[in-house]
A and B are shown apart, each in its own frame.
Chain A
Amino acid sequence: MKDQHIKLPEGSIEKTTTTLNLGPTHPATHGVMQNILELDGERVVSTEQTIGYIHRAFEKLAERRPLYQITTLTDRLNYCSSPINNMGWHMTCEKLLGVKTPKRVDYLRVIIMELSRISDHLICNSIVGVDAGAYTGFLYVMQYRELIYEIYEEVCGARLTTNMGRIGGFERNFSDVAFQKIEKFLKEYPVVLKEFEDLFIRNRIFMDRTKYTGGISAERALNYGFTGPNLRAAGVDYDLRVHQPYSSYEDFKFNIPVGNTGDNYDRWLVRQREMWESLSIVEQAYRKVQDFKGKEADVYHADAPAYYLPEKADVYTKMEALIYHFKIVMGETEIPKGEVYHAVEGGNGELGFYLISDGGRTPYRLHFRRPCFVYYQAYEELIKGSMLSDAIMTMSSLNLIAGELDA
């Protein structure tokens, strides 16, 4: 081998590792982010992650916007489950403003949030399959994400960046079609999910690719600030829906699935299990919503006239409604002074909103605690010493969403 080597100039030091640029745009990164990998043969020696390619300065923009206009910014964080972000933001505002939402609104929110969680996990899990070479599952489940998006469309008119809901509730009541679609989803989805699961769960190739790769211990995961499915895969049963229930999650019965090794396979399993739990929550919430009778069955927002837009008919006929309408639309409502942190269980973990108001019309400071951003820094530790192909699997099973990384 020695004499086959290229002759290097006198005095130069031979580099023994290969540098590989993975990204910023690469099919395996599923978003705009860069990894500069240092490879020894096929093993990863070290890596440096570069993020910020789609940084949009949301925190700065939010300092000039009235509360309701910030919802559209939250859409673009984790765009695989924007409704969770929207609801999380509304709940933060409600906490600051002291708005109490009726039970029916809470349950409707739970339905939407759990459907988003399903669509989020569904994409992540099927993409893990795609990166392992199994395209079938991804294409197959796509039609059920489509059905979820149709439900969003029925509720708010948009599909991806939903801007769903308002401070205090929803912009309109759920239509009959929306409920029919939810019912259809509840009926058809379990069969598909089971089939999808069977494609992977005991699949020899899939297990070989994912087991014992990208693992992390519970202690390290906590130190790295992991939350959500990635933390639970490492064996910590921390779930905000249980530990700090919001939106009446305490009314529902569900389990927190946990793994133990925190490897790619466990992450996949936890997400899979969570979809089943979410499905059961949607079903319970749907039944609860159906139980409301008479006047209660039409409640879809809280009574918060200073923040929730009045009925259009009232705007034309009632002085008070006209004033509120004007003040809200022009962003001239003063926000009470205060400092609040509210977190919801997003698709990837604890999605926190740290909002400081100085009594003006816009937030004084708003900070998003993005779970992706926090746990992506562990990537180097996760893949050090593993094969390049495992690094790819680890990246997709962490469910990195560029929008959430960069904010």
Chain B
Amino acid sequence: MSLTSEYIQQRLQDKFGEQVGSFEQPYGMLTFEAPKEINLKVLNFLFDDPHLQFRFLTDLTAVHYPDQTGRELAVVYHLHNLSANVRLRFKVFTDIQTPDVYTASGLFSAANWMERETYDFFGVNFVGHPNLKRILNVDEMDYFPLRKEFPLEDQTRIDKDDAMFGRG
């Protein structure tokens, strides 16, 4: 049987019922979300189910939506079933006060650094991660730079001179 989006959706709904939802297919990629409490159950099911076999973690990142109260941070997993060549996108939303999401690093070794990166930039606390510390930024940093409230430099500022670039 070919692994169509409808079939994947059906299987997920059979297993998790109402808990999985928001099924969409933007640009042909099946996208859905689940509560953050069951993210590992969903990932495990996608990994182990003999018909689904999503065993390759392509990408893991987060997105910050400051306007959605209670679901400010979205953790996005891109999974790939290499033998059937099907991709899907799985999202869990979390509030920004307690951004605790279970780590996927036990299931995918690749998730280790990806989660560290996500923590580094968004402050998502991956519960159970073996080594959750900053990866690209300095350890002393006390903010999460990819959150929307962190401003980029004002493009119109004029107080910069050569000394700021190590010259002059």
Contact = CB atoms under 8 A, between A and B. Distances in A.
B136 A340 contact: no
Contact of A352 (B31, B59, B64, B135): B59
Interface string A366-382: 01010001101110000
Contact of A225 (B57, B138, B155): B57
A59 B121 contact: yes
From DSSP, what is the main secondary structure of chain A's interface residues? mixed
Given A352-B58, A354-B78, A373-B113, A338 B27 contact: yes
Interface in A81-113: 95-96
A91 to B, nearest CB: 12
Interface string B133-152: 01111100000011000101
A339 B65 CA distance: 14
Contacts of A341: 27, 29, 59, 78, 87, 89
A377 B82 contact: no
Interface in A324-379: 338-341, 343, 350, 352, 354, 356, 364-365, 367, 369, 373-374, 376-378
Nearest to A350: B58
B141 to A, nearest CB: 11
Contacts of A95: 27
Interface residues of A, number: 40
A52 interface: yes
Contacts of A373: 113, 117
Interface stretch (B12-20, B104-112, B157-165): B104-112
Contact of A52 (B29, B82, B136): B136
A376 B114 CA distance: 11
Given A51-B135, A60-B146, A222 B56 contact: yes
Which of A51, A238, A341, A364 has the most CB atoms of chain B within a 10 A radius of its CB? A341
A220 interface: yes
A377 B109 CA distance: 8
Interface string A239-252: 00001100000000
B26 interface: yes
B150 to A, nearest CB: 8
A343 B27 CA distance: 13
Contacts of B135: 51-52
Contacts of A223: 55, 108-110
A224 interface: yes
B22 interface: no
Contacts of B146: 59-60
Contact of A354 (B76, B109, B110, B152): B76
A236 interface: yes
For chain B, the bracket of interface size reads 35 or more
A338 B58 CA distance: 20
A363 B160 CA distance: 27
A57 interface: yes
A222 B83 CA distance: 12
Contacts of A222: 55-56, 82
A406 interface: yes
15 contacts: A52-B136, A55-B137, A59-B146, A60-B152, A223-B55, A223-B108, A223-B110, A225-B57, A225-B58, A340-B27, A341-B89, A352-B78, A364-B63, A369-B78, A406-B136
Interface of A: 51-52, 55, 57, 59-61, 63-64, 95-96, 220, 222-225, 236, 238, 243-244, 338-341, 343, 350, 352, 354, 356, 364-365, 367, 369, 373-374, 376-378, 406-407
Rank and list the top 9 A-B pairs by shortest CB-CB distance, nearest first: A225-B110, A52-B136, A55-B136, A377-B113, A369-B59, A367-B61, A339-B26, A224-B109, A340-B27
Given A339-B89, A341-B29, 20 more contacts: A52-B135, A55-B137, A57-B145, A60-B146, A63-B152, A64-B152, A220-B109, A222-B56, A225-B56, A225-B108, A225-B109, A243-B85, A338-B26, A339-B31, A343-B58, A352-B59, A354-B61, A365-B64, A377-B110, A407-B136
Interface of B: 26-27, 29, 31, 55-59, 61, 63-64, 76, 78, 82, 85, 87, 89, 108-110, 112-114, 117, 121, 134-138, 145-146, 150, 152, 155
